[in-house]
Amino acid sequence: MAIEIDQAALQKIELFNNLTTDDLRGILPACDEMNAAAGQAIIEAGHEERALYILLEGTAEVDLEPPRAGERTVAELKPGSVFGESSFFHASPHSATVKARTSVRLLRMNREPFGNLLQSGNLAALRVAANATSILATRLQAADRFIVELLEQIQDEKVREAVTRFRNSMSHSFSSGVRPSMPAGTT
């Protein structure tokens, strides 16, 4: 089935940066167009599917199951967002569930035909893979910054706790009538 998608709009999506109209025509056979109703799961945590999704219309949310740190929804996806890339490039179960928040229109790139394009040396497929690598690197850098911030908060909390323990131990010593001894020869 031929996909009827505005190729100029696709070229504005980060995954398709630097692709010509001819390049896109070469990639689209590896793709299906799909729709999902509001509330419908597009990918589910724990399931394994080798597909990469591009959100064309509508919004979706990335949910962690079970919720962690009191949070369930960790991201809202808007048109142009790409998801499912970890399982697409590395055969593993999805780590989160992505649900349509509104009615959505998606482009699903299937791994097997995309892999065939890569193996044949298709330049457009190589560009898409390079663009996906850039997207993944950006996400990894954001995750690194988040982890550093968390570690700094934990460290700050530990320092505050240590200072509080020190202050409490010092005030306890003075309030118990025990006076610190002064070195001999001082007044």
pLDDT digits (tens, 9 = 90+) for 73-89: 888 999 999 999 888 88
CA distance 72 to 64: 5
Spatial CB neighbours of 176, under 8 Å, sequence gap ≥ 6: none
User: 69 is in which domain, residue-wise?
Assistant: 7-143
Q: Has residue 183 been placed in a domain?
A: no
Q: Is there a domain that residue 153 lies in?
A: no
- 124, pLDDT greater than 80: yes
Among residues 49, 78, 73, which one has the least CA distance to residue 62? 73
The answer to the question of residue 151 being in a domain is no
pLDDT of residue 70: 61
- Quick check: 1 pLDDT over 60? no
In a domain, 53, yes or no: yes
- Quote the mean pLDDT of the chain: 85
* Residue 58: DSSP 8-state: S
* Candidate ranges 23-37, 58-72, 131-145; pick with highest mean pLDDT: 23-37
Q: Is the pLDDT of residue 127 over 90?
A: yes
Question: Residue 33 is part of a domain; what is its CATH number?
Answer: 2.60.120.10
Amino acid at 86: S
pLDDT single digits (tens) 31-73: 999 999 999 999 999 898 999 999 999 999 998 876 555 667 8
pLDDT value, residue 66: 65
Q: How many domains does the chain have?
A: 1
What pLDDT, on the 0 to 100 scale, is given for residue 104? 97
User: In sequence order, which residues have a C-beta less than 8 Å from that of residue 113 and are 6 or more positions away?
Assistant: 29, 30
